[in-house]
Amino acid sequence: MFNLFKKKKEEVKAPQFLPLKVREVVKETEDTVTLYFEQPEPFLDYKPGQFLTLVMEFEGKEQRRSYSLCTSPYVDPFPGISVKRVPNGKFSNFLNERVFPGKTINVLKPLGNFTTDFHSKNKKHFFLVAAGSGITPIMGILKSVLVNEPNSKISLLYCSRNEKQIIFKKELDSLVEKNADRLEVIHNLSQPGAAWSGLCGRLSKETIFEFVQKAESEPEFEKEYFACGPEGIMDNVEEVLEGLGVAREKIHRESFYSAAADKAHEDAAHGITGGLLTRDVTVILEGEESIVTVSPDKTILEAGLSQDLNMPYSCQSGLCTACRGKLLSGKVKMDEDAGLSPNEIEAGYVLCCVGHPLTDDVKITIE
């Protein structure tokens, strides 16, 4: 459809790519590297637990992926991300194999709500659950608590496949040694070696319950909970905490991968579109209205980008909220909504990267 109001890319403020120069590459395990970047000018402004969006070109097309900062702005002189290989993954294998000090990578400014406010007066017990590469944002949070909150303590339950796959093992051991009264790290290995005497196997709800129930006997500590790892583990953590009556706002979770969004992309590529119809959607971006025609095999974001609208995005999986908009009218179906809190969903927020219009009057404003 011809669109008089369409806001072309060149008319819109281009996204602010920030070029970051790789300073150091550290091999953490056989399939994970940490990339430390030189500080840009001014210094990178981020909160512990937030992520960077890396922008690179593959197969002639600009692509983006989100990577959590594993560093703390209060402790580490240089910002860093840790990247674990995914079989056949474009970014994760490239970053593991082909990045060396001196290389410049474009990023978008840090984003994300997997964080909290740190204050020297806080007296909290932080319960952190991480699995695999899910340790990255947890590491930034953990280090920030240790340095900013002398009266707070931390318990970390960290799941890895085996001894060799434990990312940041040395750094964690050293932090425990220096903060023995405030930091406890419990490892759970799914496939440990014969000599392993710690927790092992699939992380059960019973183990999670035993881990968090220590909080019951500590009324003097405020509690806060962070979980980052596969959806199954985080669902179990949330279920156990809800069973214990923990308030929703005290539980933070971050997902790196959505099987539901992945399946929806696959289905769309194979023409399976679940009865969706082509509809026009009104998108308000930086105050200007555009009409975006969304076909059944596209998300609102994909349709907007293909019409040269400069819509914000990062993960394209419904997890990071970079593409969040507020629904002013109509109905939208989301393939995934893990990135949104129940309050945001109730308030009418939608994620354009996984959103499809269900009615003809969909109007979304992107702030």
Ligand X SMILES: Cc1cc2nc3c(=O)[nH]c(=O)nc-3n(C[C@H](O)[C@H](O)[C@H](O)COP(=O)(O)OP(=O)(O)OC[C@H]3O[C@@H](n4cnc5c(N)ncnc54)[C@H](O)[C@@H]3O)c2cc1C
Q: Residue 240 or 315: which CB sits closer to ligand FES?
A: 315
Q: Which two tokens stand for residue 55?
A: 């922008």
Q: Cβ–Cβ contacts within 10 Å for residue 208, how many?
A: 22
Stretch that binds ligand X, among 3-11, 242-250, 256-264, 329-337 (CB under 6 A): 256-264
Q: Does 107 bind ligand X (CB under 6 A)?
A: no
Q: Does 257 bind ligand X (CB under 6 A)?
A: yes
Structural contact between residues 293 and 280, judged by C-beta atoms closer than 8 angstroms: yes
Q: From CA 121, how far away is CA 149, in angstroms rounded? A: 7
Start-to-end Cα distance in the chain: 25
335-364 binders of ligand X (CB under 6 A): none
Q: Residue 128 or 315: which CB sits closer to ligand X?
A: 315
- CA Rg value for the chain: 21
Q: Which two tokens stand for residue 125?
A: 């017990």
Stretch that binds ligand X, among 83-91, 165-173, 244-252, 281-289 (CB under 6 A): 83-91
Q: Residue 96 or 122: which CB sits closer to ligand X?
A: 96
Q: From CA 89, how far away is CA 92, in angstroms rounded? A: 6
Structural contact between residues 139 and 114, judged by C-beta atoms closer than 8 angstroms: no
Q: Which of 154, 316, 334, 337 binds ligand FES (CB under 6 A)?
A: 316
- Which of ligand X, ligand FES, none lies near 142, with the C-beta cut-off 5 to 8 A by kind? none
Q: Residue 319 or 362: which CB sits closer to ligand FES?
A: 319
Q: Which of 15, 40, 89, 330 binds ligand X (CB under 6 A)?
A: 89
Of the candidates 320, 313, 340, 318, the one whose C-alpha atom is nearest the C-alpha of residue 108 is 313
Q: From CA 21, how far away is CA 36, in angstroms rounded? A: 9
Q: Whole-number minimum distance, CB 263 to ligand X, in Å?
A: 9
Q: Does 351 bind ligand FES (CB under 6 A)?
A: yes
Q: Does 161 bind ligand X (CB under 6 A)?
A: no
Q: Which two tokens stand for residue 52?
A: 């960077």
Residue type, 113: N
Q: From CA 269, how far away is CA 271, in angstroms rounded? A: 6
Residue showing tokens 């008089």: 4
Q: Residue 29 or 316: which CB sits closer to ligand FES?
A: 316
Q: Does 299 bind ligand FES (CB under 6 A)?
A: no
Q: Does 320 bind ligand X (CB under 6 A)?
A: yes
Of the candidates 282, 287, 320, 276, the one whose C-alpha atom is nearest the C-alpha of residue 112 is 320
Q: Which of 339, 349, 350, 364 binds ligand FES (CB under 6 A)?
A: 339
Q: Does 323 bind ligand FES (CB under 6 A)?
A: yes
Q: From CA 326, how far away is CA 345, in angstroms rounded? A: 9
Q: Which of 84, 143, 223, 298 binds ligand X (CB under 6 A)?
A: 84
Judged by the rule CB under 6 A, the positions of this chain that interact with ligand X are 51, 65-68, 81-84, 86, 88-92, 133, 136, 254, 256-257, 262, 315, 317, 319-320
Judged by the rule CB under 6 A, the positions of this chain that interact with ligand FES are 313-316, 318-323, 339, 351, 353
